[in-house]
Amino acid sequence: LSIGDEPTPGQFQQIAAATKDRVDALQIHTMLLRSMQQAIYTAANNGHFGLAYGAYTHFTSPIRRYPDLLVHRVIKALLLGKRYHLLTGPVKNPAPQRRKASAKPNAKPAQLTLEGEMWEAAGSHCSANERRADEASRDVEAWLKCRYMREHLGEEFAGTVSAATSFGLFVQLEGLYVEGLVHITELGGEY
């Protein structure tokens, strides 16, 4: 299968389907996910690339994150026949305030509503905080795995090579989902 410079969701789905029964399917599917751009919160409805949906939103219930709260508020206002505004909450007939966007390259459209700018700022803030929270979770998870594994130093485990680099192999231990480096100097004559 081939994939273009600007792949479509269908191309990703074809690769996933064609490789689902292979022994290295986990590695292939992981690389497919890693090659996709991370989702961001934005005022524009850009759909969902991976699911190939033209319109998409996501929230959890019960509310666990600020973006969930915003989506709940918007849906509640829509169900009441209103529109939710960040500063004032639900209102009936909003009068958009307009402000000229900058003339910089890659700038937003010529006219952008103040409300649109506020939603963009909220989206950027939520995206950045979600990335920061994900990074903190990964750090804690890595620390807990290290703490657990120090009780098992010297033991042998079955594992799968998850990545190969010029300095060694990364191996994920089966059943434990702990990944570690086997340095190239430990490979002996298997270079």
Instruction: Tell me the per-residue pLDDT of 42-76, one tens digit each, with 9 for 90 and over.
Output: 888 888 887 788 888 888 777 788 898 999 999 99
Does residue 100 register a pLDDT over 80?
no
CA terminus-to-terminus distance, the chain: 30
Decide: pTM greater than 0.85.
Answer: no
How far, CA to CA in Å, does 19 sit from each of 28, 29, 162? 8, 8, 16
Q: What is the pLDDT of residue 73?
A: 92
Does residue 101 register a pLDDT over 60?
no
For 1-32, the pLDDT digits (tens) are: 677 788 888 888 888 899 999 988 988 888 88
- Report the mean per-residue pLDDT for the chain: 83
User: For 141-166, what is the mean pLDDT?
Assistant: 92
% of the chain at pLDDT higher than 90:
38
**Positive or negative: CA dihedral 136, 29, 66, 59:** negative
